[in-house]
Amino acid sequence: MTAFTRWILAHRRLVVGFWIVLTVVGMATAGAATKAMDQKFSVPGKEGWETNLAIARAFQGTGGNAAPLVPVVALTGGRTVADPGVRADLEAVEAKLAKALPGVRVAGFGSTGDRAFTSADGRTAFVVAYPRPDPDQPFGDNPEAEKSARAALRGATVGGAPVHLSGYDALLADSGEAEGPGVLVEALVGGLGALLVLAFVFGSFLAIVPILMAIPAIMTSFLTVYALTAAIEVSPIVQFLIALIGLGVAIDYSLLVVVRWREEQSHGAKGDEAIINAMETAGRSVVFSGTTVAIGLLALIVLPLPFLRSVGIGGMVIPLLSVAVSLSLLPVVLHAWGEKLDWPHRRTDDKASAAWTRWAEGVVKRRWTAAGVAMVMLALLVAAATQLQPGVSDPGTLAKGGPAKVGLQELEQSGIGGGALLPHELLTTGDGAKGVATAVARVDGVHGAVAPVAWTARGESAVLAFPVQDGSKSAGRDLVDPIRDAARGAEPGARLGGQVAQNADFIDAVYGSFPLMIVLIAVITFILLARAFRSLLLPAKAVLLNIISVAAAWGVLQLVWQSGHGSEEIFGIAATGSITAWIPLMVFAFLFGLSMDYEVFILARMREEYDATGDTDLAVIRGIGRTGRLVTSAAIILFLAFVSMASGPQTDVKVLATGLAAGILLDATIIRALLVPAVVSLFGRWNWVLPVGAAKLLRVEPSLPPRDVVPEAA
């Protein structure tokens, strides 16, 4: 690190020119990079996904992975679908959709006369319409089709009752999704909050330095991902990760180095000497921190889903480039402008924080109590996490009002159920379709099933099954296997598709490989941290606590969103009943790495203090005293970035942001400020032991502290 920093300082113009060029090119190509991110989704090799592809091939791209548009009518005045003129009106609704949406696959009571499209009392009816998908939209969505259908049905009535266009696309349209702030606005809001925190930390104009470092890190990340899109498909989720998580990570790394540089200056180091000393200590911690974040994301490649692999590869770029900026451009900025910007110098880093030192002394003194309190709090959240249910989005949470919401409520109140918005679609031979529909309709929890005569192509027929409960409820998720078994009992070649079945395949593929992902991350992280801390116990504890930290964040997701203890009060959204399947995985991948940042910051300083004093308790007190304010400030900055992320209107983005924000706060408070110092104090000298054999394997010096050491004077 010393040689590298000296080289950087000796070639300052080259370094600055390099980053300026990359930043300018990154700014110029950021829009193109965003557009180049591919939105396709696949679960290769799984029945649900493969069946959906077959359905799309047979029916000109309609159905399968796409959610249908669902016009709903609740008849009034005691009228039912058996009354004269009602069926003709329903058939007219289908005709209007067919005219407005060329190529649409539509069915309802009007064209089929099948009571699967009506409530038991005949007073509520619905139509299912699968428009052709928009190739530029994710998951087969077609917002333009929803707009056309809404216009075509405006003012339409059935038996004098209004028609309400519902369905997932209609609910999203009524949610005002397009009115939310963009990525740039969210990043600016997060940056402003970060600047306020940094102003408090430094008490000088140095507060702008970490913000300035985030700009090249973010822009170069966009540029790098743009280059990656030429070789692989990259998910659009990566743009949010670059803008917001990139902002937090880049600031955190720069913050750590600048704080240590001020400390070195306050202890008498001048000029480049202070920079080099800061890089030898804080810079080294940044390398290990950034590497662990990158590993957490790159481990997504072990999952058998291209969508998540691309997030892992694209997301890995963010911490690595943030590290590169902190190690190269930041020393040059400190050399040229550091002392000038450190004005009016309202705060000094000569001594450790008095408040955090007192806190650490209290934790060490009552270490058993501190460890016990922290473990009880974490255990409660981990227990809540065991009830977390991955699933599809609850349609009831997508819009607070509007015609689509009214249509959904009419389905639920009539007994048909919200499952009609996301029916199971089966593919079978033309001769076996009616038998499959009859068999599936008998399954408990299924409102009805239908095999429209017109839905036959290439010798195959589509069958729709309407569950009462939607896929976000356990009763809806549990119908996948019974429906598949019933269909195959009637027709051995029948295959089950639809979004609910595909989501079940997704969960099986992802969470079936999840233990492998955890093991891979844990092993690589353990090896890196064992080298960094020259210890076997500290990295093992760090990995274990990080897993517990992520599980606690999952517990918050379960309590706030799945069970609704806070989602209504904070966001005005009712309990979701389940968590969209990819969100817990993304929370794990990012939090494992991000929270490890704080672990490295704290333990690296504790190791440094222990090497200087030989006393574990003193190392804990000094380590927390020096890093407590830093870690808290870094956590607040990331928290504000995630709050900005949660300002978007999409429910899934709010849920993801909640998990990340809660995880960061839990990690920086309960774990790093309470549990870590207590546990390190409890284990004493065993924290610092690295036997000779293990040291040889890790290619570092062994650490064999004596049993009795007289500490130096504090």
Chain segment 643-690, per-residue pLDDT in tens: 777 776 677 778 888 998 899 889 888 998 999 999 999 999 999 999
* Top-confidence residue, 574 or 469: 469
* Spatial distance between the Cα atoms of 286 and 278, rounded to a whole number of angstroms: 11
> Mean per-residue pLDDT for 128-144?
75
Cα–Cα nearest to 424, from 489, 493, 500: 500
What superfamily would CATH give domain 1-36+180-350? Multidrug efflux transporter AcrB transmembrane domain (1.20.1640.10)
Give me the pLDDT at residue 710, please: 45
Other beta carbons less than 10 A from residue 708's beta carbon: 7
Is 60 exceeded by the pLDDT of residue 179?
no
Residue found under tokens 């679609």: 425
* Spatial distance between the Cα atoms of 526 and 694, rounded to a whole number of angstroms: 12
> What b/e string do you get for 406-419 counting C-beta neighbours within 10 Å, with b at 16 or more?
bbbbbbbebebbbb
> Do 1-36+180-350 and 354-386+523-676 share a fold?
yes
Is 60 exceeded by the pLDDT of residue 714?
no
Of 400-414, 563-577, 602-616, minimum mean pLDDT range? 563-577
Cα–Cα nearest to 638, from 217, 238, 220, 247: 247
Give me the pLDDT at residue 137, please: 61
Burial status of residue 39 (CB atoms within 10 A of its CB: 0-12, 13-18, 19 or more): middle
Residue found under tokens 């992280």: 525
* Spatial distance between the Cα atoms of 494 and 463, rounded to a whole number of angstroms: 10
* Spatial distance between the Cα atoms of 606 and 600, rounded to a whole number of angstroms: 10
Q: Which helix (H) or strand (E) holds 701?
A: none
Residue 225 near residue 314 (C-beta atoms within 8 A): yes
Q: Which helix (H) or strand (E) holds 600?
A: helix 582-613
Cα–Cα nearest to 198, from 600, 659, 640: 640
* Spatial distance between the Cα atoms of 586 and 692, rounded to a whole number of angstroms: 38
Other beta carbons less than 10 A from residue 498's beta carbon: 29
DSSP state of 451: -
* Spatial distance between the Cα atoms of 604 and 626, rounded to a whole number of angstroms: 11
| Partners of 108 in beta bridges | 127
Structure tokens at 531: 């080298």
Is 80 exceeded by the pLDDT of residue 215?
yes
- 447 — pLDDT class (breaks 50, 70, 90): very high
Give me the pLDDT at residue 336, please: 92
Q: Find the farthest-apart pair of alpha carbons in the chain and give their distance in angstroms, rounded.
A: 98
- 529 — pLDDT class (breaks 50, 70, 90): confident
**Which residues have C-beta within 8 Å of that of residue 411, sequence separation ≥ 6?**
70, 72, 124, 126, 166, 417, 418, 420, 421
Is 90 exceeded by the pLDDT of residue 274?
yes
* Spatial distance between the Cα atoms of 562 and 574, rounded to a whole number of angstroms: 9
> Mean per-residue pLDDT for 395-407?
84
* Spatial distance between the Cα atoms of 31 and 36, rounded to a whole number of angstroms: 9
Give me the pLDDT at residue 202, please: 80
Of 44-48, 390-394, 610-614, minimum mean pLDDT range? 390-394
Q: Cα separations (Å) of 592 from 328, 512, 539, 663?
A: 26, 19, 13, 9
- Chain mean position to CA 113: 44
Is 80 exceeded by the pLDDT of residue 445?
yes
DSSP state of 474: H
Is 90 exceeded by the pLDDT of residue 303?
no
Number of H helices, E strands in the chain: 29, 12
Angle of helix 537-557 relative to helix 367-385, nearest 10 degrees, comes to 50
Of 102-111, 185-194, 245-254, 308-317, minimum mean pLDDT range? 185-194
| Partners of 497 in beta bridges | 425
* Top-confidence residue, 5 or 631: 5
**Which residues have C-beta within 8 Å of that of residue 53, sequence separation ≥ 6?**
64, 65
Residue 280 near residue 2 (C-beta atoms within 8 A): yes
Other beta carbons less than 10 A from residue 710's beta carbon: 7
Residue ranges of domains in the chain: 1-36+180-350, 47-176+401-499, 354-386+523-676
> Mean per-residue pLDDT for 22-42?
85
Peptide bond connecting 344 to the previous residue in cis, omega within 30 degrees of 0: yes
What percent of the chain is modeled with pLDDT above 90? 46
Other beta carbons less than 10 A from residue 2's beta carbon: 11
- 361 — pLDDT class (breaks 50, 70, 90): very high
CA dihedral of residues 608, 612, 617, 619 (deg, nearest 10): -30
| Partners of 70 in beta bridges | 166
Q: Which of 34-38, 135-139, 268-272, 415-419 has the highest mean pLDDT?
A: 415-419
Give me the pLDDT at residue 390, please: 86
Give me the pLDDT at residue 711, please: 45
> Mean per-residue pLDDT for 190-208?
82
Cα–Cα nearest to 502, from 270, 305, 238: 305
Structure tokens at 236: 């659009």
Burial status of residue 212 (CB atoms within 10 A of its CB: 0-12, 13-18, 19 or more): middle
Is 90 exceeded by the pLDDT of residue 450?
yes
> Mean per-residue pLDDT for 227-239?
84
Structure tokens at 229: 């899109």
Is 60 exceeded by the pLDDT of residue 183?
no
pLDDT tens track for 531-578: 888 999 999 998 899 899 999 999 999 999 988 888 888 877 778 888
**Which residues have C-beta within 8 Å of that of residue 220, sequence separation ≥ 6?**
19, 22, 23, 26, 321, 325
Give me the pLDDT at residue 437, please: 94
**Which residues have C-beta within 8 Å of that of residue 243, sequence separation ≥ 6?**
183, 184, 186, 187, 218
> Mean per-residue pLDDT for 434-449?
95
**Which residues have C-beta within 8 Å of that of residue 377, sequence separation ≥ 6?**
670
Instruction: Report the CATH number of the 354-386+523-676 domain.
Output: 1.20.1640.10
Mean pLDDT of the chain: 87
Provide the residue count of the chain: 714
What percent of the chain is modeled with pLDDT above 70? 94
